[in-house]
Chains A and B, each alone.
Chain A
Amino acid sequence: MEKLYFDIVIIGGGAAGLRAALEIKKTKELSCAVISKIHPLRSQTCMAQGGMNAALNNNTTQGEDSILSHFEDTVIGGDYLGDQDTIQYFCEEAPKCVIELEHMGMIFTRQENGKIAQRPFGGGMFPRTCYSRDFTGHMLISTLYQEALKNDVKFFDEWYVPEILVEEGFVRGVLAFDISNLQQYTITAKAVIIATGGASTIYNNTVNAVTSTGDGIALAYHAGAPLKDIEFVQYHPTSLAHKGVLLTEGARGEGGYLINNRGERFMERYDPQKMELSKRDVICRAIQNEIIEGRGVDGCVLLDLTHLGEKKLKALLPQVYSLVSEFAGIDASKELIPVKPAAHYFIGGIDTNRECETNIKGLFAAGECASTGIHGANRLGGNSLMETIVFGKKAGENAVNYTKNNEMQKTDFDPSQGLFDDFEKILTREKGVHYSKIRNNLRETMDENVGIFRSADSLSSALKRIKELKDDYNNVACLCPDRNYNYAFFETLELESQLTVAEAVTTAALNRKESRGAHFRKDFLKRNDDNYLKHSLIYYCGGEDNKEPRIDFRDVKITRFKP
């Protein structure tokens, strides 16, 4: 066991974590480290394609955009479950955050006049999504990582954090493993920022990275921070069927159509005004409905990009064009693409306020793992990449203020006792339940029961199964005792996070007896503002007695737009 100290530790090297680090680096006298289980450039951020929303008002082809309009679209898009004061702040900050990125050197697609181009995206009344063809996420993480190199940010790549240390409501630091040799570290810190992304891999049907396992969400949850609105999981309408590969909303933004087996643009029946650029939850349900009612094609619907022409496709959607060709052998300029919804984004997450603070002093969270309350019940496309920057910056700022204004408490807390023993057990267990079996089971259960359409029956049955799988986990084996680059072992640790998050999602879903945004109950079809214009909060109560999690609710902050 080795000991290290940093003033601020950031867990996660994606857009939010890197932006936080850059903010912290502006203060020269504080020490900071970014711990990531993969190299930062490999983070989930790089997979984002479509763009980031900001009311820059560069594209005035459809009239004048405004912060107020972005604010309103986000509130309505979130089905009125968003905290409006935070949303307003987010929309106000977005334009300057984009400009800051451009000044750092980020490559954006440009208009004729040299300004950053903006395109229409789902749920927006104006074209305000700034983009870099369909490589926006890649360009974003490249720029942030390069800027981090310039500023000498300290990185611990391929280190895994299995525990956050909390004592009497204050954060104390983290435990960490070096994946290359399983060396154990206790890292003391005054402040910790969690920026570990989402947990869409609790579903089999997902477009996300295998590393998106909700580790940070589970860490905060186990440490005592509640999870907010965790039942809201966004499905992306267009994943390349059977491949689990994301095809950006930008494809529809550039004019793509969704077609059923009758050749109809079926969105006309569900949202004639916005059609294919409706809100994601509306489109996902529409697609599922078409499929369930027999108007699908092999369990999918079809994305039609043929009318865009090869030239426009290759210029504006090069990644989509190439993905569809390489993974399914389809020429998007000539053929229709089979697509279906897949789990994509965690709308809910670690409960934070506008300052990225959790209920644990010194513990902050930003990015997909956090829930500041801006997305409400459904996230608008383009708001997530923007969120990582606005709130990554905020978390960094506030972590600095907290660190400067708080003394490190003297403590006899020695976490090394016993905490690593469980891990040794998993490592050395020769006979048990293989982790991939538990994982496959979990993912199938979630797909079937906690997907786009939910009911009390499906959710209860899922919860029962999850508990059985948690029991199995007590006897889990990775069957590899190596101490160097033992990925089987780390996937087993990740599985614990996945089980934790899955249980939280399912429990919260069971307790929200209405349909709103991405959460749809077949047994409670209507939105119920009287009882549920509130955020759900779920608290971990496990411990020795393995108590059930506690559910609570908190009123949504309405400032301007009444539902």
Chain B
Amino acid sequence: MSHKIKFKIQRFDPTKDKKTYFKEYEVSLDMWNTVLEGLIKIRNENDPCLAFRMSCKSGICGSCAMRINGRARLACKTKIQDIYKNYSEVKIEPLGNLEVLKDLVVDMEPFYAEMKNLEPWLKNSYEKGQHESRVSPEENQKIEKSGECIWCAACFSDCPSREVNKNYMGPAASVQAHRFIFDVRDEHKKERLEKITDKKIWLCAHCEKATENCPQKIDPQSVISDLREETIHNDITKTIGAKHVLAVDKSIKLFGEISESWLPVWTFGPLKVIRETKAALKLLTHKKFPTLKPKKIRDFEDITLLYHEVYKDALEKIKNSGRTRKKMVDAQRTRH
């Protein structure tokens, strides 16, 4: 059954307009039609100059990534009924964090540059011979998911860390790095880990937007966690992020809890902490200054045992925690 669906689309033609503006349309569509089908209809019947990219119409080429009602996703996989559950119009804007070239077409070059910068190709020098390299199904499974990335930039678009710091490579590049770092055929793991550390793997703010947006359901959040852990296992610990992780570990081992006074010292170093004297004094006057001589907590032995258990299953736990988070995000997604 056809409905009159309202579209509100951001327009911008740099050859004519000084700034972006919204234009409204009304299209006859079924609830099972997709946003892309709506856009095509608008261009064919209404507004021939509307510019947007598309190709496969089945969610695998990545051309039609755009912000739909505030969230970047593929227009060809977004059904009208998905939007109309919560909104009364389909609001479309181009991807974020990238310059608008015309209407919904953005300059993807900075995104591609981040991907290329990581040298996304296999690097090894062992003798190959006439047969394939052997990769076990378990080894393969480790990179199958991150290998599914279609470079659509839906994650990159809404990444707040990228928005405030252009030196952060973004979630897609992290996923791309993962695909090679954990490929058993690649021989440049340490180098790659150094590279992603330089490109600020620790800047991810855990906002979960990448995981929510990814049309391939890759869960960049978990991927980034995996990568961070891998940097520490490979002794790359010069960043604040890594130092913080190690500081938490140390604190729990020593005191059975997180010491708010010692954590900053171990994370930032004593010199930096001294600069925070003003804040420290404020805490003192409000009697909220954390003790400098934390005692071991009451059930310290239990904590130690627990901690050893955790350490033992640490890798398992981290993987599982990613999946649990993903389950929650999936549940939330289907609610929309």
A residues apposed to B, CB below 8 Å: 38-39, 41-44, 46-47, 96, 98-99, 102-105, 107-116, 132-133, 135, 137-139, 142, 146-147, 149-150, 180, 207, 209-211, 244-246, 319, 322-323, 326-327, 434, 436, 478-480, 482-488
Contacts and interface: CB of A to CB of B under 8 A. Distances in A.
Given A105-B183, A146-B121, A149-B121, A115 B132 contact: yes
A135 B52 CA distance: 25
A96 B136 CA distance: 21
Contacts of A486: 49, 51
11 contacts: A41-B151, A43-B55, A44-B56, A107-B144, A116-B132, A210-B55, A323-B58, A323-B59, A480-B49, A488-B48, A488-B49
A38 B63 contact: yes
B60 interface: yes
Contacts of B105: 485
Contacts of A483: 15
B102 interface: yes
B147 interface: yes
A299 B49 CA distance: 37
B120 A42 contact: no
A323 to B, nearest CB: 7
Contacts, number: 136
B19 interface: no
Contact of A114 (B119, B130, B134): B134
B70 to A, nearest CB: 20
Main secondary structure of the interface of B (DSSP, over half): loop
A44 B58 CA distance: 11
B214 to A, nearest CB: 12
B77 interface: yes
B61 interface: yes
B13 A107 contact: no
B115 to A, nearest CB: 8
B58 A180 contact: no
B236 interface: no
B61 A41 contact: yes
Contacts of B185: 105
Contacts of B44: 434, 436
B113 to A, nearest CB: 11
Chain B interface size, as a band, is 35 or more
A480 B61 contact: no
A110 B121 CA distance: 20
A99 B148 contact: no
B310 interface: no
A103 B121 contact: no
Contact of A41 (B101, B122, B134, B150): B150
Nearest to B102: A485
A485 B15 CA distance: 11
Given A135-B148, A209-B56, A246-B58, A110 B63 contact: no
Given A109-B140, A135-B148, A485-B102, A245 B132 contact: no
Given A41-B61, A107-B147, A142-B147, A115 B134 contact: yes
A209 B108 CA distance: 21
Interface in B33-51: 43-44, 48-49, 51
A210 B54 CA distance: 8
A209 B64 CA distance: 12
B77 A326 contact: yes
Interface in B100-155: 101-103, 105, 108, 116, 119-122, 128, 130-137, 140, 143-144, 147-148, 150-151
A46 B61 contact: yes
B220 interface: no
Contacts of B103: 485
Contacts of A147: 121
A99 B56 contact: no
B144 A47 contact: no
B80 to A, nearest CB: 13
A480 B49 CA distance: 5
B62 interface: yes
Contacts of B133: 102-103
Nearest to B148: A135
Contact of A139 (B48, B135, B147): B147
A226 to B, nearest CB: 29
9 A-B pairs closest in CB distance: A114-B134, A105-B122, A480-B48, A150-B121, A485-B51, A436-B44, A102-B132, A480-B49, A42-B61
A110 B49 contact: no
A98 B15 CA distance: 48
Contacts of B62: 41-42
Given A42-B63, A479-B48, 8 more contacts: A38-B63, A46-B60, A102-B133, A115-B131, A142-B147, A146-B120, A147-B121, A244-B57
A172 B243 CA distance: 62
Contacts of A114: 134-136
Contacts of B48: 478-480, 488
